[in-house]
Structure 1
Amino acid sequence: MTSFLAIGLVLAASLVIGIYGVRAARTTSDFLIASRKVAPGWNSMAIAGEYLSAASVLGLAGLVLKNGLGTLWYAVGFTAGYVAVVALVAGPMRRSGAFTVPDFAEYRLGSPRLRKLSGCIVLVIMLLYLVPQFKGAGLVLHLVSGAPYWVGVLLAGMVVSVSIAAGGMRSATYVQAFHYVVKLAFLAVPAVYLIVHAGADARAQALEPDRGAVFREDTVVEFNVGTRLEIPEPTTVAATGGESVPLGAGVHDVAAGEKLTFPAGASVPRPAGVPELGGEEWSRPLLDTGEAGSPLFGTWSTLLAITLGAMGLPHVLMRFHTSPTARTARRVAVGVIALLGVFYLFPAVYGLLGRVFTPRLALGEASDTVTVVLPAEVVPGAPGTVLTALVAAGAFGAFLSTSSGLLLALAGGLSHDLFSGSVPRLRFAVAAGTMVAVLIALPAFRLDINVLVGWAFAVAASTFCPLLVLGIWWRRLTLAGAATGLTIGAVTSTGAVALSAVADLEPGWVTILLAQPAAWTVPLAFATMIVISLLGNEPDWAEHALLRLHAP
């Protein structure tokens, strides 16, 4: 009840702040970019609040628990992406005078068709990013109140769509800045309290990743899907009916719906495809996607996708157009780097302590919930309930703030870029985009949040990153080169991640090239744009366009 009340307060405050912006959303410029009048401090906090999504609040901690220390590279990549944004994109994009990325594409290359192609890619990226936000909302509400998963998904979609449809970018700015403060305070305070309260022995276990994980007390593990477990040593467990079942060392299949009670002191078993908690793979500071056996390549590919993908995320780039000048836009991006660096100190705390106190979450499909479940496990009673309420409210704030920016970019791509934009049509596009995202999120319960967000970054890195870098810094880019490169980048990246999601592939190079495609799709998109452009003629207005992008 305490958690539900905390979430309700965050929802109510978000609605009130969002509706406050109604008076300022009268034109397309007001709705999409707040008439370029957002102050740097507000903008930095809003971008940080928008960027810190479910992948940061829930997904990163869950991946640390499930897959090990190598997943901390996600935090590095998420933050490093803004270094590239400051260096290559922020200032010129603001000088272009565009509202959206498709706006920039048409300005730079003079083609309405390229604008529409870019608008379609915006829809793909935004939906890939929006679905995990609604999934996270459903998970958290289910955990703290017992409400069905679909209730949280629908509730988050309704609140965000009403807030954004009412006030546009100005509403989103205030809401997201408020949510950054909520997320930082509501995750940082419980994290520090948990570190202190956990005790010296638990802290030692958390900081010694090579130490194997054991169940601290008799623990019931419910398997929602059929799972293959590798038992490290003989263990006797209690089955669903209460009878004792001896499990010898080796591999055992557990049916969906089965509940097993592991005794205190038993080693935590290893699910198929997941590193042993405390084993060599778990403690290695590299990513090994799908146990493909190439952790260094997987790490580089992930970093490439996340870092370059940040330059191509439409909702991030739209934010810089709200700044009064290009210099202000760069200052905003630098401020975001500092705010992100502070926040990313804390998700790792939940993942590391989760290995000690809640190792059962790594056995099923619930690793994303470790941030919400952990406080009550470490601190029983009323204090744990209060800490859980804070974390749940902070997590819900993350879904709302990120969803606000994503819906604005989605509405811009759907209405402003694909059709003629007006405020009523933009508001209708917000509602339509929310409906589609909710319908996709309902069956996405078992997909890892960070995996979905990683796919969005991979598509952005393979499409808009080459378009923006070459369009801003290379005068020879042609319409044919840009269109061909965008098409190839979009088809290869979306095709790879879709195939990795539905195909049952054996570990190996094929698996990692599909699950983390940026290592080959990004160079392919860049090469395609360059080669096709060199075969054609430089646009007559290219020098003038670049002069406008770079001249003070």
Structure 2
Amino acid sequence: MMHTSFFALGAIGLVCVVTILISVHGLRRSRTTRDFYVASRRVPPWMNASAIAGEYLSAASFLGVAGLIMAYGTHGLWFPVGYTAGFLSLLVFVAAPLRRSGAYTIPDLMSLRFPSRTLRLLTAMIVVFTGWLYIIPQLNGAAIALNATTGLPAWLGPAIVIIVVLPTVVSGGMRSVTLAQAVQYWFKLSALLIPTVFIVLRLGAGETDFIPELANAFQVQLVNDAHASMYRTVSLVAALMLGTVGLSHVLVRFYTNPDGATARRTTVLLLGLLAGFYTLPMILGIVARAVLPELADAPTTDTALLQLPSALFQGITGDLLTALVAGGAFAAFLSTASGLVVSISGVVSQEFFGGTVRGFRIGAVLAMVLPIVAAGLTTDLALAGAVAMVFTFTASSLAPIVLLAIWWRGLTVPGALAGMITGAVISLGALLVGHLVEFNGITATFFQYPALWTVPFVLVVTMLVSALGTQRPPANTDAVLARLHLPEPVKNSLGRDS
């Protein structure tokens, strides 16, 4: 354990030092407001795709997917499927129009579509609340990883994340974070790929004692009711797919592309990066279920990847692989938390500090206050389960309004307000009831995974209020939609003709 702790601390320290050095580099290059908010919109597709993958692959992706497979067998495979499919939704419906909007934040997008201060403030509140909710699992993941690999007090994990993330964001804003997250993606990929290669080589050497037990991953019945199981799967995938559309820290990335075409190329590259990454925790999760069957009944299965190397390899090899996984886990926590803090900081600065760099830095500090407190109260939630709740909230509150604002001319301010409020209230209410009240069978699943009914309900409410209300869409609606959907060369030629 002593060698494991030493190597794990070294790997975690290396990740933190590299992140801080990148932030110092970003400080020298970030000179304007555009640098802080959108890296002057000069991020090439391959860099942006790596950065988005870096911040999107959070604690739930790095540790949580394998933990879910440990607990629920192949039912846990639907999480990476839903996570990846979410960017297919972005590619088809959101990526290019969002970049063409020219906005810095989601509230900016709403202000472009509607001249309503109330709608802008409500959007900002939901964005900040969502960011807070999403930071909490990152802090909990850091506590789990540090304690499991080094034996140090769990509270040091969140403290390390905060100490590294705040200087990174405050010093260089989006420009610093972009480079750091791109590097962290490739580190995370390596941190899972190398142990996977070692395991495959061991299998190839003929040590196959545990191979028959891999069938355990396919023998878990999640719920007794087949209809409840089907509902859970479909609702979960719907939440993960649509929830991605409502994640502000992901959407803001598309503002950093030079134009709409590069935003689409970024998303295509991103799909490849995510598919390549998610293959690894799925493989390792199935192997962990065979090698560590006792962990399946433990209070938390999120430590499966951290325990797997030492269970398969003795001595220095196991210690080094464990350290590599621990370092990759911290790269996941740091990259996602950085993106969330940038997103929250941008909104706070725009709404309350006139969009200044000083306001951005104040927003970065405020972004960490509530999560620090809440993280200590939610340590018993599984990482992937906690993130799925955030996706359900965004899929119900922000995603329908963002999609309708981009694609439906008939959306009005009262309709958007009604939809956001309805989605936020019913999704949070259902999730709280589902996790605090004891239900059985389909009733419990109905409340714990509500996206399949909350999203259609929000769409109906939004469209009915917009269609039946007295207020009409703004007079400039056609011009705004043309700005969102016409490719840049077409808009430029129209401008010259006029």
Q: Distance in 1 between matches of 2:139 and 2:196?
A: 24
Q: Distance in 1 between matches of 2:304 and 2:443?
A: 31
Q: Distance in 2 between matches of 1:49 and 1:4?
A: 21
Q: Which position in structure 1 is the counterpart of 2:460?
A: 527
Letter in 2 for 1:550: H
Q: Which position in structure 2 is the counterpart of 1:310?
A: 244
Once the two structures are TM-superposed, the CA of residue 292 in structure 1 deviates from its matched residue by 8.9
Establish whether residue 338 from structure 1 lines up as the match of residue 298 from structure 2. no
- Is 2:42–2:257's contact at 8 Å kept on the other side of the alignment? yes
- Which stretch has the larger CA shift, 413-422 or 148-157? 413-422
Q: Distance in 1 between matches of 2:279 and 2:352?
A: 40
Q: Which position in structure 2 is the counterpart of 1:127?
A: 132
- Is 2:353–2:359's contact at 8 Å kept on the other side of the alignment? no
Q: Which position in structure 2 is the counterpart of 1:541?
A: 476
- Is 2:348–2:359's contact at 8 Å kept on the other side of the alignment? no
Q: Which position in structure 2 is the counterpart of 1:493?
A: 427
Paired residues in the alignment total 477
Q: Which position in structure 2 is the counterpart of 1:150?
A: 155
Once the two structures are TM-superposed, the CA of residue 439 in structure 1 deviates from its matched residue by 1.6
Higher strand share: 1
Q: Distance in 2 between matches of 1:72 and 1:431?
A: 36
Once the two structures are TM-superposed, the CA of residue 129 in structure 1 deviates from its matched residue by 1.1
- Is 1:308–1:465's contact at 8 Å kept on the other side of the alignment? yes
- Is 1:293–1:507's contact at 8 Å kept on the other side of the alignment? no
- Is 2:393–2:427's contact at 8 Å kept on the other side of the alignment? yes
Matches within 5 A, 1:30-45: 30-45=35-50
Once the two structures are TM-superposed, the CA of residue 539 in structure 1 deviates from its matched residue by 2.1
Establish whether residue 202 from structure 1 lines up as the match of residue 210 from structure 2. yes
Structure 2, gaps ≥5 residues long: 1-5, 488-498
Once the two structures are TM-superposed, the CA of residue 103 in structure 1 deviates from its matched residue by 0.8
Secondary structure, counterpart of 1:191 in structure 2: helix
- Is 1:10–1:393's contact at 8 Å kept on the other side of the alignment? yes
Once the two structures are TM-superposed, the CA of residue 497 in structure 1 deviates from its matched residue by 1.6
Q: Which position in structure 1 is the counterpart of 2:298?
A: 364
Establish whether residue 319 from structure 1 lines up as the match of residue 253 from structure 2. yes
Q: Which position in structure 2 is the counterpart of 1:256?
A: none
**CA offsets per residue over residues 350-372 of structure 1, 9 Å max, x none?**
21111122122222223000011
Choose from 90, 113, 116 the match for 2:118: 113
Q: Distance in 1 between matches of 2:363 and 2:9?
A: 30
Once the two structures are TM-superposed, the CA of residue 41 in structure 1 deviates from its matched residue by 1.1
Q: Which position in structure 1 is the counterpart of 2:194?
A: 189
- Is 2:174–2:342's contact at 8 Å kept on the other side of the alignment? yes
Secondary structure, counterpart of 1:445 in structure 2: coil
Secondary structure, counterpart of 1:149 in structure 2: coil
Letter in 2 for 1:301: S
Secondary structure, counterpart of 1:346 in structure 2: helix
- Is 2:55–2:335's contact at 8 Å kept on the other side of the alignment? yes
**CA offsets per residue over residues 125-154 of structure 1, 9 Å max, x none?**
111211101111111111121111111111
- Is 1:202–1:356's contact at 8 Å kept on the other side of the alignment? yes
- Is 1:293–1:508's contact at 8 Å kept on the other side of the alignment? no
Superposed CA RMSD in Å reads: 1.6
Q: Which position in structure 2 is the counterpart of 1:15?
A: 20
Q: Distance in 2 between matches of 1:192 and 1:417?
A: 48
- Is 2:412–2:466's contact at 8 Å kept on the other side of the alignment? yes
**CA offsets per residue over residues 82-141 of structure 1, 9 Å max, x none?**
111011001001111111111101110111211110011012211121110111111111
- Which stretch has the larger CA shift, 404-413 or 369-378? 404-413
Once the two structures are TM-superposed, the CA of residue 27 in structure 1 deviates from its matched residue by 3.4
- Is 1:94–1:325's contact at 8 Å kept on the other side of the alignment? yes
Runs of 4+ in 1 over 4 A off after TM superposition: 290-293
Choose from 67, 76, 88 the match for 1:71: 76
Once the two structures are TM-superposed, the CA of residue 316 in structure 1 deviates from its matched residue by 0.6
Q: Which position in structure 1 is the counterpart of 2:60?
A: 55
- Which stretch has the larger CA shift, 79-88 or 530-539? 530-539
Secondary structure, counterpart of 1:368 in structure 2: coil
Higher helix share: 2
Q: Distance in 2 between matches of 1:280 and 1:366?
A: 17
Secondary structure, counterpart of 1:344 in structure 2: helix
**Between the two proteins, what is the percent identity of the paired residues?**
39
Choose from 21, 27, 31 the match for 1:26: 31
Establish whether residue 164 from structure 1 lines up as the match of residue 169 from structure 2. yes
Matches within 5 A, 1:386-401: 386-401=320-335
Letter in 2 for 1:359: P
Letter in 2 for 1:20: H
Letter in 1 for 2:216: P
Secondary structure, counterpart of 2:256 in structure 1: coil
Q: Distance in 1 between matches of 2:225 and 2:297?
A: 16
**CA offsets per residue over residues 204-242 of structure 1, 9 Å max, x none?**
321x237xxxxxxxxxxxxxxxxxxxxxxxxxxxxxxxx
- Is 2:426–2:454's contact at 8 Å kept on the other side of the alignment? yes
Once the two structures are TM-superposed, the CA of residue 419 in structure 1 deviates from its matched residue by 4.8
**CA offsets per residue over residues 453-473 of structure 1, 9 Å max, x none?**
101111111122111211111
Once the two structures are TM-superposed, the CA of residue 426 in structure 1 deviates from its matched residue by 1.1
Secondary structure, counterpart of 2:210 in structure 1: helix
Q: Which position in structure 1 is the counterpart of 2:101?
A: 96
Secondary structure, counterpart of 2:428 in structure 1: helix
Choose from 427, 441, 445 the match for 2:361: 427
- Is 1:292–1:512's contact at 8 Å kept on the other side of the alignment? no
**CA offsets per residue over residues 461-495 of structure 1, 9 Å max, x none?**
11221112111111111001001101100111122
Q: Distance in 1 between matches of 2:152 and 2:226?
A: 38
- Which stretch has the larger CA shift, 292-301 or 441-450? 292-301
Secondary structure, counterpart of 2:148 in structure 1: helix
Letter in 2 for 1:323: N
Once the two structures are TM-superposed, the CA of residue 398 in structure 1 deviates from its matched residue by 0.6
Q: Which position in structure 2 is the counterpart of 1:483?
A: 417
Q: Which position in structure 1 is the counterpart of 2:491?
A: none
Q: Which position in structure 2 is the counterpart of 1:227?
A: none
Q: Distance in 2 between matches of 1:551 and 1:280?
A: 49
Secondary structure, counterpart of 2:314 in structure 1: coil
> Relative to structure 1, is the Cα distance of residues 418 and 293 closer, same or farther in structure 2, using a 3 angstrom cutoff?
farther
Rg larger in structure: 1
Q: Distance in 2 between matches of 1:381 and 1:457?
A: 40
Q: Which position in structure 2 is the counterpart of 1:471?
A: 405
- Which stretch has the larger CA shift, 441-450 or 3-12? 441-450
> Relative to structure 1, is the Cα distance of residues 411 and 543 closer, same or farther in structure 2, using a 3 angstrom cutoff?
same
